[in-house]
Chains A and B, each alone.
Chain A
Amino acid sequence: MSYFSSLRLLPLLGGLYEALLILFPRSFRQAYGPEMAQVFRTSCRETQRRDGARGLVLLCSRALGDVVWSSTCEWVTRPRARNICMRAMLSVVAVLLASMASSLHGRRDADDAALAVLLAGSFLCGVIHPKGAWWWALLIGVGLPGGRLLGHITGFTVFNVTDTEFPLMWAPTFVGAYAGAAMRWLTNRSWSKGSRSWPRT
């Protein structure tokens, strides 16, 4: 690569890097974007002068990996993203619990166990994420007939559409989820009271 062509290449690389910064959340980009672009441009100039075109290619590939990795980390570690991840994971757990309750419900003399799973599962979800108590109750409650219907489709269980007990399954899930939320609220309250009364050392 001639010196002249590299002179034209450097602004192009800088522009491309600035365009890549769109991968970062807006607040991060506004705070650090101009500095990051400046650091990249300076690195390009230094590398081109010291190592030539080969060094420049290596630098750009490393910078690309760095932008992808650090922007992903920045998105994932945002409080909102963390909340979404936790809700998604809890939803999976809730569906698994509902499936378990559904399989127990289909067995003879296992209705109490199914009820216990519904109550315990919704209570746990309510404790972990109290603001979404209604969602966990709905999800776990829907999971029971859902699981039975799936079992019917796949030929494992008999699904009776006139079965009137399924809507009643929401009663224990709502009770469980809101009991969990209330327990979490009470625990938080007693902790915050306790921390106020702790003596300062």
Chain B
Amino acid sequence: MDDQEAPNTVHLTPAMFNILLTLADGEHHGYAIMREISLRTGGTVRMGPGTLYRSIKQLLAAGLIVESEERPDPSLDDERRRYYRLTEQGFRAAEAEARRWEQVVRLARSKQLLGGEAQMAAEGGQ
């Protein structure tokens, strides 16, 4: 497979993409992923435990993430928590999805649909 080519067997839902983005920083447990997504999106994306673990299950099945074997010191953390990390394939899938979104944003920008440009264009047209 070409290095630039991403695995296209899994359709990434917004929830799955958000989880991959979060895990790009390093390994996290379920609650940390949920909190990080909520913080990063300013609270606009609030994922419930059901959606979170359904997405994690799909990502694990697709081989995009794996459960981490290394655990923090049990005295510092709850030992029942499972940590997840990105695989090489997961990294490529996240990269491909990010590039796809980059193209969409570039297109929206060229059509002056983003931010003040859109407002200015609308005012100019009146």
A66→B50 contact, CB < 8 A: yes
Once bound together, how far apart are the Cα atoms of A38 and B78, in whole Å? 10
- The answer to whether the Cβ of B63 comes within 8 Å of any Cβ in the partner chain is no
The verdict on A66 contacting B51 (CB below 8 Å), with A35-B30, A43-B31 known, is: yes
- The answer to whether the Cβ of A42 comes within 8 Å of any Cβ in the partner chain is yes
Most buried by A among B49, B53, B81, B82: B49
**Which of these binds chain B: A68-76, A92-100, A111-119, A144-152?**
A68-76
Once bound together, how far apart are the Cα atoms of A66 and B48, in whole Å? 6
- The answer to whether the Cβ of B12 comes within 8 Å of any Cβ in the partner chain is no
B54→A73 contact, CB < 8 A: yes
Q: Shortest CB–CB separation between residue B96 and chain A, in angstroms?
A: 20
A38→B53 contact, CB < 8 A: no
Q: Shortest CB–CB separation between residue A151 and chain B, in angstroms?
A: 46
Partner of B48, one of A24, A37, A70: A70
The verdict on A66 contacting B57 (CB below 8 Å), with A35-B81, A35-B82, A39-B31 known, is: no
A-B CB contacts (within 8 Å), total count: 59
B46→A36 contact, CB < 8 A: no
Once bound together, how far apart are the Cα atoms of A74 and B31, in whole Å? 20
- The answer to whether the Cβ of A40 comes within 8 Å of any Cβ in the partner chain is yes
Q: Which of A160-182 contact B (CB under 8 A)?
A: none
| Residues in A lying within 8 Å of B, measured CB to CB | 24, 28, 31-32, 34-40, 42-43, 46, 62-63, 65-67, 69-71, 73-74
| Residues in B lying within 8 Å of A, measured CB to CB | 30-31, 34-35, 46, 48-54, 56-57, 78, 80-82
11 further interface pairs, Cβ-Cβ under 8 Å (given A31-B57, A42-B31, A70-B50)? A32-B53, A35-B49, A35-B53, A36-B50, A37-B49, A38-B31, A65-B48, A66-B49, A69-B51, A70-B51, A70-B53
